[in-house]
Amino acid sequence: MTLYFSDHGNYDLFYLKKLGNLVETMSAYELDSWLDQLEAAVPEVKINIIVEACRSGSYIDLSQTISGNGRVVIPSTGAHALAYVT
């Protein structure tokens, strides 16, 4: 399974939606928890995760990381770097 996230991000946050003052985000902890549930239900699943957003490297830089056996994680930047579309 391949997950591709592309939008705005911050350290340990990926922005999913913004409507006025309502902002929905996803943390590395939340994504890791969902992936753990998937792997428990489907043990042979292999997961590729591509995160194209500012500070996306924080998803693998934290003590709570989305990295793990059977997972390939590709961030577009380091933990503190900004991402630019050219």
Write out pLDDT tens, residues 20-62: 888 999 999 999 999 999 999 999 999 999 999 999 999 887 6
Q: What is the pLDDT of residue 62?
A: 64
Spatial CA neighbour of 63 closest among 8, 25, 12: 12
- Are 31 and 38 within 8 A, CB to CB? no
Q: In the 8-state DSSP scheme, what is residue 28?
A: H
The structure tokens listed for 25 are 């985000």
pLDDT for position 46: 96
Angstrom distance (rounded) from CA 41 to CA 60? 23
Q: Identify the residue with better confidence: 64 or 45.
A: 45
Tokens for 7? 């939008």
